[in-house]
Each structure stands twice: as structure tokens, then as C-alpha cells.
Amino acid sequence: MKLSSANINVMVKACRKAAKNIIRDFGEIEKLQVSLKGPGDFVTASDIKAEKILIEELQKARPRFSILSEEIGQITNDKEFKWIIDPIDGTANFLHGIPHFAISLGLEHKKEIICGIIFDPIKDEMFLAEKGNGSYLNNQRLRVSSRSILKDCLIITGGPTFRSKDKDRQLSLNEYYKFSSKVMTPIRKMGSASLDMAYVAAGRCDGFWQRNLNYWDIAAGLVLVKEAGGFVTDFKGNNEYIENKTILVTNSKINEEMIEVLK
């Protein structure tokens, strides 16, 4: 692995330790204890266990850093440094035995993500990036794709959820329809926003858009895409994707075309 700073090493160790339990539980899906967290939003015993391991490992190495995690919420310490954690991004896939989910871990410094890891434990694919030092998949340097015509591109989205407001649901469906009429390959909906962003960084797909994602869904992917040469904006091409809860991730060459469609 070519990235080996102290922070990256801490993150890698924490992710690999948490992944051992996730892999074991994935092999015993039918035995998992599942509780209902909200309409259409499940949390598993494995999710909680993975989060606990991640937090324990990160606090052991960096006891003063703050934490924002999907399940436990906020732990406030150092105001400059914060871990952003999603222990299993793609829980529905996990619950149904679909091997497409990831641990997503970002490190924020002064409101900017400076390190990110998106780890797919089933495929043993670790996407990682550090500001100024590039993006990697295991030992291989990543670059976004070079496709420049939207019609020829592979586009990914997540679409509306059960909890989406009627307006957001209709907007998402309209956007899906418009993109479907612009590209030759059908739009993909794979169920893990962090991996969607990692796949743009790796050049496996060319663009990704989605509404109403949480910060922990996208944090690690932000630095990963940018360090691979891609663009991250809101639907209007601005940097207010967190505030507006609309995110557009591209290989940079189709950014303007995708913004035009989203208008």
C-alpha cells in the first residue's frame, strides 16, 4: 500500500479489524439479530459491533479526536479533527446477502476531509486517499475515467427512499427519467453511496448523483474522488453539497452536461 502516513495506518488497522466481524456475520446472515431503526432503515447487530470496534481502535490511537458516526451520533472532543464513520454503508444489501457494501471512514481537519477509506471487505478492495498524496485501490493508483460524452457514460444513482418527501421523490424520479434518455447504458442503482463514489474515482463508472445523503455516506468519498481527478459539486455546480443535500460526482469531463440535465 503506497499511502502510509500515521493517520492512514490507524484507519487501515481499524477497518481491517472491524471487517473480520462483518465478514463472519455476512456468512451467517440468517442468524443475524435485526432491529427496526425506522421505516425502511434497518440496523443490524453487525453494524453496531463494527462501529464499536472502529471507535475503540480510533480512540486508542487518537483519543482527543471528535467522532461523528451513523449509529451513535456525535462525540465532541478536539474541534479541529473529527472521524466520520459509517460502519456498513449498504446495510440493505448486507441483510439480503448481496456482497456489495462497505466500511466508510473519513478524517476531517478544520471542516475538510483530508483522509478517506472505503473498504469493501467481501471483495477485499480498499479504496483510500489522502489530500495531496493521491487515491489508491490497494496498491494501484486511481484515476477517474476519460469519457467526455455523456451518452457513452455509465451513470449511478441511489434514487428516493421510503422516507423521502413527495417533492424529493418526484424530483429524483424525474432526474432518473432524464438521465435514462441521455445515456445508452441503463442507469445503475447498486445500494451503497460510498462505493458509488469509489467507483467513480476508480474509473469504473463516470458519474453519480443523489439527493438527501448524510455526511457519513459521502465523507470518505470526497477526498477519494478529488485526489483521483474527479469533481464533487452540488446539482448547480457549487461546493454546497453538504448544506443542499444534493451531490454530483463526475470524472470532471461530463460535469457540465450532468448539471444541465439536473436543471
Domain boundaries, the chain: 6-141, 150-262
Calculate the average pLDDT of the chain.
92
CATH of region 150-262, choose from 3.40.190.10, 2.130.10.10, 3.90.1150.10, 3.40.190.80: 3.40.190.80
- Asked if residue 160 has pLDDT above 60, the reply is yes
Whether the predicted pLDDT of 32 surpasses 80: no
CB atoms within 10 A of CB 63: 9
Question: Model confidence at 31, in pLDDT bands (50, 70, 90)?
Answer: confident
- Judge contact between 130 and 8, C-beta under 8 A: yes
Its CATH architecture, for the domain 6-141, is 2-Layer Sandwich (3.30)
Q: 198-208 pLDDT, tens per residue? A: 999 999 999 99
The packing angle between helices 166-180 and 255-262, to 10°, is 130
* Partners of 135 in beta bridges: 129
Report the pLDDT value the prediction gives residue 38, as an integer from 0 to 100: 59
Burial string for 33-45 (b: 16+ CB within 10 Å, else e) reads eeeeeeeeeebbe
Q: Which helix (H) or strand (E) holds 215?
A: helix 215-227
Using a 10 angstrom Cβ sphere, with 0-12 exposed, 13-18 middle and 19 or more buried, the burial of residue 98 is middle
**Has residue 15 got a pLDDT over 60?**
yes
Cα 75 from Cα 165, distance rounded (Å): 29
In sequence order, the 6+-apart residues with CB closer than 8 A to the CB of 213 are 158, 193, 245, 247
Q: Residues 36-53: what's their mean pLDDT?
A: 78
**Mean pLDDT calculated for residue range 216-245:** 95
Predicted confidence at residue 169, as pLDDT, reads 78
Q: How far apart are CA 218 and CA 198, in angstroms?
A: 10
- Of the candidates 222, 205, 96, the one whose C-alpha atom is nearest the C-alpha of residue 156 is 205
Q: Give the best-scoring range by mean pLDDT among 1-5, 46-50, 191-195.
A: 191-195
Confidence of residue 123 (pLDDT cuts 50, 70, 90): very high
- Average of per-residue pLDDT across 114-127: 98
For 207, phi and psi rounded to 5 degrees? -160, 155
What's the mean pLDDT in 121-136?
97
Helix (H/G/I), strand (E/B), else coil: 35? strand
Pick from 21-30, 111-120, 218-227: least confident: 21-30
- The span from the first CA to the last CA of the chain, in angstroms, equals 41
- Distances in whole angstroms, Cα of residue 61 to Cα of each of 8, 37, 51, 85, 122: 11, 30, 16, 16, 26
- Checking DSSP bridges between strand 207-211 and strand 246-250, what pairing results, if any? antiparallel
- Residue 44's pLDDT is 82
What's this model's pTM, rounded to 2 decimal places?
A: 0.93
Tell me how far CA of residue 142 lies from CA of 53, 118, 226, 228, 237, in angstroms. 28, 13, 11, 6, 23
Evaluate if residue 194 carries a pLDDT over 70: yes
